[in-house]
Amino acid sequence: MKLRMFVAVVLFAAGLALGVLGYAAIDPSRFSIGADTQGKLVLAVGAIVTALLAVVAAYVGGSMAQTGSHDAAVIAALKSVISSGFFKGRRVVFNIPSRDLSAFPVHFPLSENDEPEESILREALKFLPYPLEEAVIDYPSLVRRAGNCDAIVVAVRRQVMDRWLGILSSAGLTAEVMEFSISSLLRLHRSFITNGGQADLICHIGRTNSLLAVVDGESILSFSEIPWGIEPLCEKIKANFDLSDAGAESVNLLKVYGLAYADRDTIQKSPNGGGGQADMNMYRVIFQIIAPAAAELVYECHKTISYLRSLPGHADFTTVYLYGLADQIFHLDRYLEKEVEIPTQYVDALGKLGYADGETPPGITEGISPAPALGLAMREITWL
């Protein structure tokens, strides 16, 4: 049977420069291909016959500070994927970058037989920073409860969407479906974790931005993107130790020592750490450097949790799930669990797909999280 390959492009999250491109493929009988932009990274990932097989990295230039330069870099990256010969199709599913979106919750009365669209448009007028006629609006989550309706509304200005459609067209692609990063991440999460109707806090850690979302079954109760990631932590470590610009040393210190000093009396040390008083001093120093930034993440989690608990009839929280680059910060899960007082665990997406501990697909270097792209790659497409 001839394989039909389709590229799905996720233009996800903001950053200062465009850097790494990767690609792979997924079972063409059911699913699309996912691609992801995380700060300085562009990553396309997927699987053939439900298993992630390979990711190949290449580098492209461009600056997010200059729109024209960035657009040209994205177009060149997409053309590179197409010219690889790995994909047969040209129809794509894509995500507008989070920085170009307006997202907000709405709450309104709704009788059982009424449709929500008109009420959503009316409520959206209260939050949109531009005229309604210039907006393209969707609601990835809608929950009816006892005569009321709660929805998450996501909107993009039409001229912004047209810009991204133009980028895809210039690369020789045809856009078929627009999706949102939170929907992709929720799809991935639900493929790994079953939930009995209680609320989970999903936290995807990126390089410069992170995504916080509260989900209840298939519903999204709240989500936000925050300017927090591992890159500023590494920069702080580099500055304090006067390390080279390459960054490998600061990343290693973050992975080996991280936030473990918070539980210095009981902590099981990183396998890569040493022993003795000198080693304990390093745990203390790294903790002192990054703890203020870690407190900012805790604050954002508390703010999200407090908001949901203030709503009538809220679901009980069960677990905080960490995705993405959370494993680059040693002891982050235990630190966050202690601070928010909710069981916390890291989800190893590649491990769930059959990779051994520490093993990565060829071409993926440290600092690249394929999680949102994997979620998009799991989207079932009607035209396949």
Domain 230-346, architecture per CATH: 2-Layer Sandwich (3.30)
pLDDT score at 230: 92
Q: What are the CA-CA distances from residue 80 to residues 83, 85, 103 (Å)?
A: 5, 9, 32
* Neighbouring-strand partners of residue 199: 216, 317
Q: Which of 65-74, 178-187, 199-208, 280-289 has the least mean pLDDT? A: 65-74
Judged against a pLDDT cut of 60, whether residue 228 lies above it is answered with: yes
Judged against a pLDDT cut of 50, whether residue 113 lies above it is answered with: yes
Bridge pairing between strands 20-21 and 58-59: antiparallel
Domain 101-154 in CATH 3.30.1490.300: yes
Instruction: Domain 9-99+158-193+350-377: give its CATH code.
Output: 3.30.420
**Number of residues written out for the chain:** 384
pLDDT score at 272: 56
CB atoms within 10 A of CB 88: 13
Distance in angstroms (rounded) separating the CA atoms of residues 366 and 301: 25
DSSP symbols for 233-277: HHHHHHHHHT--TT-HHHHHHHHHTTTGGGGTTT----TT---HH
Instruction: Name the residue ranges covered by the structural domains of the chain.
Output: 9-99+158-193+350-377, 101-154, 230-346
The residue type at 281: N
Which residues have a Cβ under 8 Å from the Cβ of 172 and sit 6 or more positions away? 78, 79, 82, 90
Rg (CA), the chain: 21
Judged against a pLDDT cut of 80, whether residue 250 lies above it is answered with: yes
pTM equals: 0.76
Instruction: Considering only residues 211 and 311, tell me which one the structure prediction assigns the higher pLDDT.
Output: 211
Q: Which of 19-33, 83-97, 247-261 has the least mean pLDDT? A: 19-33
Judged against a pLDDT cut of 90, whether residue 340 lies above it is answered with: yes
Q: 165 — phi, psi (to 5°)?
A: -65, -35
Mean pLDDT within 194-210: 84
Q: Are 101-154 and 230-346 in the same CATH fold?
A: no
